[in-house]
Amino acid sequence: MSAEEIDANEVENPAVTEQAEAPTENPLAKLQDELEKLRNDVLYAQAETQNVRRRLEKEKADASAYAATGFARDMLSVADNLARALAAIPADLREDERVKSLLTGIDMTAKELDNVFQRNGITKIEAVGEKLDPNRHQAMLEIPSADAEPGTVVQEMQGGYMIKDRLLRPALVAVAKAPDA
C-alpha cells in the first residue's frame, strides 16, 4: 500500500479515526479540572493564612495581657510580707502614738499594692468557706470538722491570686473532713 492509499483508507473508514481520537481527552475539560483544582488550592491557602493571622493576633493579645505575670508572682511575696507585718503587731502597740505613724505607713503601702494589683487584673482568690477547687486551691492538710461539710476550705495558710482569668498562685488551704468516730 502506498501512502496515498493509507490516507484514503483512514478517511474512508470512520471506525479507525474514532479509535485514534478516543484515548485523548477533551482538552477543555482537562483545563477546567485543573482550574478547579488550582481554585481550591488558592482557597485553602487563603484560609490557612487567615487562621495563622488569627492565631498570631491571639498570641499577641495574650502576651500583652499576661506580660507582667512573672513580675506579679514576685510581688506576691511582698504583699504576703506586708500582711504578716501588719498581723504581727499586737493591739496594745497599735494604740501607741510612737508606732502609730509607722503602722499607718505600712497599712497605706499594703493598700496601694492591692490597688496596683487590681489595676493590673490581679485578684485574690476567696478560699475559706468555698468547696475545694483543685484549679484554684492546693490542699495542704485535712482537718476533722463537725461544722463544715467535707471538702470545704476551713483555713487559708497562704492567699491565692488570679491574673485576669489565669491562676497566678494557688491558695494553700486546709480542708474539712468528716470527724473520726
Instruction: Enter the pTM of the model.
Output: 0.63
Supply the pLDDT for residue 98. Answer: 84
Least confident of 18-27, 43-52, 123-132: 18-27
Question: Can you tell me the distance from the alpha carbon of 134 to that of 140, in angstroms, rounded to the nearest whole number?
Answer: 12
Question: Can you tell me the distance from the alpha carbon of 173 to that of 128, in angstroms, rounded to the nearest whole number?
Answer: 8
Residue listed under C-alpha cell 463537725: 146
| Dihedral sign, Cα of residue 133, residue 137, residue 142, residue 144 | negative
- The per-residue pLDDT for range 116-160, each reduced to its tens digit, is 999 988 999 999 989 999 999 999 999 888 888 888 999 999 999
Question: Can you tell me the distance from the alpha carbon of 88 to that of 91, in angstroms, rounded to the nearest whole number?
Answer: 9
